[in-house]
Amino acid sequence: MCKDSELLDEIINELERQNAINLLPNPEKEIYEYCLFVDFKMSNEAKNPGEYVLMDSIATPIERTANKYGMTPDEVIEILQSANYMIDKMLCLDT
């Protein structure tokens, strides 16, 4: 029973997190989702952790996001930090 309860808590937490992401304003939402997509895509394409590290050394998800949106990596990092702050605030994690 405890494991079922933990799994349910994880599912609820993830749904709340996804809802918070959906409530982000742009450009935070778009940049945040794209950066997550790039990271997920890289991890799926890599055959092993070493290959992921190699891909990451060529261009990190942040750098790839910056290239797509014509921004600097520092600008993307600022937006991601802002998005994380807003998500934490919506989820009451900003203690």
49 vs 9, residue with greater confidence: 49
Torsion of CA 53, 57, 60, 63, to 10 degrees: -170
Could you report the per-residue pLDDT of 48-83, keeping only the tens digit for each?
999 999 999 999 999 999 999 999 999 999 999 999
73 vs 6, residue with greater confidence: 73
> Which of 47, 73, 49 has the alpha carbon at shortest distance from 60?
73
**pTM metric for this prediction:** 0.83
Give me the DSSP letters along 73-92: HHHHHHHHHHHHHHHHHHTT
Could you report the per-residue pLDDT of 11-35, keeping only the tens digit for each?
998 999 999 999 999 999 999 999 9
Which residue do the tokens 């990596």 mark? Answer: 73
pLDDT value, residue 95: 56
Opening angle at CA 34, ends 29 and 39, nearest 5:
130
